[in-house]
Structure 1
Amino acid sequence: MTGTTSGLGLALSGALAGAGARVLMTARDAGRGAAALERVRAGIRGPGSAETVVLDLADLASVRAAAATIRERSGDRVDVLVNNAAVSLGPRERTRDGFELQIGTNHLGPAALTWLLMPALRAAGEHRRPARVVTTSSLGHRTGGLDLADLHWARRRYSTTRAYGASKLANLLFAAELDRRLRRAGDPVISVAAHPGLTRSELLTNALARRRTWGARLLVLPDRLVSQPVAVGIEPQLLAATGPVDGGDYVGPTGFREMRGPAGPARRSAAARDRPLAADLWHRTGAATGVTPDP
């Protein structure tokens, strides 16, 4: 599970560990990771367990190191990978590898992690039910297209909202392409996507605080008024990770405009259904990260 120090990732880690799973919680900061781990362990009453792994998705060296650690600790068997971590709507920044921060953290890092963990997912799927990769997208995937020729906004005027939307669109394209390739390869792994609707996590609040403008700060209150609690917001990810789904499914809240409500089938934008775009993104992601796509 990535992005476990607060919000959806923290709640989802607690729910899974509480239900008996062994959860490897990744965190960019070791101190925050330790605090989150303590909270999760305090809520475990059964055979479940939790532990932390340091992972910074904005640093490919960290991604490689974390993948190696996860494979070692898990005995090279991972039943479910939940790519949950994300950054959103902050000022323009670059990752350690020079990528635009949002596409780097939200798509390139998770894609590399998924490919590096595929041997462990494949091994787990061969011994029990198919393993799963759960990719967390967002309603924001509808807010912008994906310019593969200028993925890092070198030529265009930067828009933090459109950059976030592009990263979330990339998540859906990657999840769908991954599932198609897994099916063709006959691998015992499925790829599922999910989104939490409008959920009262810290993602938007932290992003708006980083912008340090009165307009951004004023958006925090409406967000808290219309969003649903985290305990409800994790339901689509729980369904994707443990429930009756098929490879290629996309799940989210089924209420008004998918902002809240019970988990069920979600809608993709036309761009998110573009197979040639997904295939092109797949190859460009491999070239950018230096990680060989698998399968």
Structure 2
Amino acid sequence: MYPLPDLTGRTVLVTGTTSGLGFALSRAFAGAGARVLMTARDAARGAAAVARVGGAAEPVLLDLADLSSVRAAAADVRERTDDRLDLLVNNAGIAMGPRAATADGFELQMGTNHLGPAALTWLLMPALRGGGDLEPARVVTTSSLGHRTGRLDPDDLDGKRRRYSPTVAYGTSKLAGLLFAAELDRRLRLAGDEVLSVAAHPGMTESSLLGNSLRRGATLQARLSGPLDRWFVQPVEAGIGPQLAAATGPVHGGDYLGPTGPFEVAGPPGPARRSTAAQDPDLAARLWAATATATGVPPDPGRTVNA
């Protein structure tokens, strides 16, 4: 596993922590001495995960598919931490189910994987600015190899103008997250803010959403999932390496990390490749504005010079 520094005295918020990457991240941060706020949609499952992690771990009730829950969780975290948060890891996500809607009527994957985390990030910016006593606070956005399949239209975040494809919808939501991370970094720098925005992807891990999607897929894909697991899928302890490196390693705002092995499927963390769309600053700026309109949450940083 990626080696962590001593995190004693630091407060970390990780989303989606009842299993998989989020649970492993929480356990790693807690093991390094951090106070870890672990979010879950279900209170009982969240409490069980916290008990398994131990240390200075605490549950936070959060459903990213419900913006009222996002607002309540952000207020809870700000109060609990006295507006002192060192690290936000936007890890929670869903993948490739049939078309469904969030509590606010958005396409479920876009709502859970992008709109909810973006709103949470904006709402927690005062706490992130108040943290970072030892070094600047960070926001880590978890993207995916699947972002390369995304087809994002900021004027149609729900994808209602095209036929629904679970795979494309997932890729689009992950492309949105990667663009959001880049635009957040750009606006933080323009505002002269020290908070860092970094992104990472886990490649293919035992809890990877892409791997899970294959096991839910067509018959041929199901037959292939066994060989894929044996040859390409890495254990979760290795899969969290890019997120841990983004959270605690030597990075610059705007960096994107992933596994450095062939096809970025597995391997030690290092620079990852973005799709052409993920490098489009105009698309990122349009998404930023569309996200603010959709969520009703004021973007932070807001209007800045040359924004």
Mapping for residues 21-40 of structure 1, pairs under 5 Å: 21-40=34-53
Q: 1:217 Cα deviation (Å)?
A: 4.3
Partner Cα separation in structure 2 for residue 31 and residue 212 of structure 1: 30
Match for 2:112 among 94, 105, 129?
Answer: 105
- Counterpart of 2:131 in 1: which secondary structure? helix
Q: How far does residue 151 in structure 1 lie from its aligned partner after superposition?
A: 1.5
In structure 1, how many angstroms separate the alpha carbons of the residues matched to 2:61 and 2:228? 30
What secondary structure is seen at the aligned counterpart in 1 of 2:177? helix
User: Which residue number in structure 1 is paired with residue 8 of structure 2?
Assistant: none
Q: CA deviation at 1:187?
A: 1.1
- Superposition RMSD on alpha carbons, in Å? 1.6
Residue identity opposite 1:263 in structure 2: P
SS in 1 for 2:196: strand
Aligned counterpart in structure 2 of residue 134 of structure 1, from 132, 140, 147: 140
1:289 aligns with 2:295: yes
Cα distance in 2, alignment partners of residues 270 and 181 from structure 1: 21
1:174 partnered with 2:180: yes
Q: Which runs of 5+ in 2 are unaligned?
A: 1-13, 302-307
Paired residues of 1:6 and 1:202 also in contact (CA < 8 A): no
Query: 1:37 is matched by which residue type in structure 2?
Result: V
**Distance apart, 1:215 and its partner CA:** 5.3
1:122-271 correspondence runs (5 A): 122-125=129-132, 127-201=133-207, 203-204=209-210, 207=213, 214=219, 217-218=222-223, 220-225=225-230, 226-271=232-277
> Bigger CA drift: 99-108 or 30-39?
30-39
Whether 1:19 and 2:29 are equivalent positions in the alignment is no
Within 2, Cα distance between the matches of 1:70 and 1:216?
41
Moved over 3 A (4+): 202-209, 211-220
SS for the counterpart of 2:45 is helix
* Alignment partner, residue 63 of structure 1: 70
* Percent identity (aligned): 70
CA distance in 2, matches of 1:256, 1:213: 25
- Which is worse superposed, 273-282 or 149-158? 149-158
Q: Counterparts of 2:281 and 2:109 in 1: how far apart (Å)? A: 22
- What is the CA deviation profile of residues 212-264 of structure 1, one whole-angstrom value per residue up to 9, with x for unaligned ones? 86456445434422200000000000000011111010001000011100001
Of 7, 15, 27, the residue aligned with 1:2 is 15
81, 86, 94: which one pairs with 1:87?
94
Code of the aligned partner of 2:16: G
How far off is 1:35 after superposition? 1.6
Residue-by-residue CA offset, 1:252-280 (whole Å, 9 max, x unaligned):
10000111000011111110000000000
Note the residue ranges of structure 1 that are not aligned, 5 or more in a row. Answer: none
Alpha-carbon contact 2:204-2:211 (below 8 Å) kept: no
Look up the SS of the partner of 2:79 in the other structure.
Answer: helix
Matches of 2:159 and 2:288, distance apart in 1: 19
Contact 1:200-1:223 at 8 Å conserved across structures = no
2:186 alignment partner AA: R
**Within 1, Cα distance between the matches of 2:272 and 2:248?**
17
The count of residues paired between Structure 1 and Structure 2 equals: 287
SS in 1 for 2:270: strand
1:184 alignment partner AA: L
Compute the TM-score of the two structures, normalised by the length of structure 1. 0.93
The offset of 1:75, in angstroms, is 1.3
Per-residue deviation at 1:149?
2.4
Aligned equivalent of 2:304: none
1:51-82 CA distances to partner (integer Å, 9 max, x unpaired)? 11000000000000000001111111100000
